[in-house]
Amino acid sequence: MNDLIIKQGKLINGDFIDIVINDGRITAIGPSAATGLPSIKEIDLHGHYYISAGWIDAHTHCYPHSPLYFDEPDLIGAACGVTTVVDAGSTGAEDIDDFYAVSRKAKTNVYAFLNISRTGICCQNELADMAQIDNKQLQNAVRRHKGFVIGLKARISKSVIGENGLQPLIQAKTMQEENGLPLMVHIGNPPPKLEEIADLLTKGDIITHCFNGKPNRILDDAGNLKLAIERALARGVILDVGHGTESLSFTVAEQAIKFGAYPHMISSDIYQRNRIDGPVHSLASVMTKFLNMGLSAEYILNCVTSHPANLLHLPHKGRLERGRDGDITIFELKKQRTELVDADGHIRIGTQQFIPIAAIIAGVHIVVAENTTAENISIKNSSAKRSTINGIPL
């Protein structure tokens, strides 16, 4: 008896497939992979809805006990069609243990970038005092939580670093050499200048808030891509969206993409306030903005599945393949008018929208996305009882 079978899901290329999941992993996948197979639970999409590997939001703030930027993993994760969330530095070495304990209670997969400040984001200027950076504490925390801590986070903008200039980033690069984890660098208002930051980054490092409209944006005054960014991209530095409350400009994103500066990861920088009040709302909302800026649906899906899985070294996630984790997102790609707002308050009218229907995590947790009104989906338990998607137990 198989744990879960999904029938007639539609891929973004229009093909239809079945997926069989056992013990948390995909064990069979193909056009007729589920034919004649028994299962404890079966979901039949009847070819009406898309499926992809589970969406990964590579930049969130989901430590519920954070004093500034906080949310519940399942509210920004599974309830929004997202199967994996990565917290981007809310916690440091002093509170990562508590975050780990809290995260184990969530249905959504949770990982963390560890802030180089031992206190995490307990205030807006956590790196204004270099004494907050304790390499021994950080390395011990990384070792304690190997597999949960998947990167380091340094917020390098004037409001965070005070008068310390590039010193916190230089220290972060030294700390990174000891553990080999990816380093995510937040950019905001100068000083230091973006050019100085970018020139210190190496292959696999991540620039987040890459399309912000602030003075430290990746475009120069003439609207061209800054040479330091071109050099960084050539070295293998990664661009992460990190929309957030202040960090996505339609104008900057569209212009940068014209110069070939495509995002490698599309992420939300979501937390309770910008989830409820906007302009973020959900990862699907951010994906929709890029869809209506001209990126293909397939490229956008890669930016929330295979790209973050590869770049953040999550080898069992990000692809619909035999042996990968049984994390699946069911969604619609709906043609309808939608009003889109960037972080600068600029409004665009879109014509297509990503709408999550459900998140399936390890083939066990099946969470229907908020406000879902999907029809033409049926489920069947081994008892042969059927119901619509809205009847799937949370």
Binding-site residues for Zn(2+) sit at 59, 61, 153, 186, 209, 269
Annotation: binding site: 59, 61, 153, 186, 209, 269
Distance CA 159, CA 71 (A): 23
Amino acid at site 167: Q
Burial group, residue 135, by CB count within 10 angstroms (0-12, 13-18, 19+): middle
Rounded to 10 degrees, what is the CA torsion of 299, 241, 284, 369?
A: 120
Contacts of 22 (CB under 8 A, 6+ apart): 2, 3, 4, 363
Contacts of 271 (CB under 8 A, 6+ apart): 60, 61, 62, 69, 70, 71, 76
- From residue 385, alpha-carbon distances to 1, 21, 41, 134, 382 in Å are 17, 20, 10, 57, 8
* Residue at token pair 């995260």: 103
Rounded to 10 degrees, what is the CA torsion of 98, 99, 101, 106?
A: 150
Supply the DSSP string of 333-385, one letter for each residue.
EEEEEEEEE-TT--EEEEEEEEEEEEEEETTTEEEEPTT----S-EEEETT--
Distance CA 353, CA 355 (A): 6
End-to-end distance of the chain based on CA atoms, in angstroms? 22
Give the other-Cβ count within 10 Å of 375's Cβ: 10
Distance CA 184, CA 73 (A): 20
Contacts of 132 (CB under 8 A, 6+ apart): 92, 117, 118, 119, 126
Using DSSP bridges, classify how beta strands 16-22 and 55-60 pair: parallel, antiparallel or unpaired.
unpaired
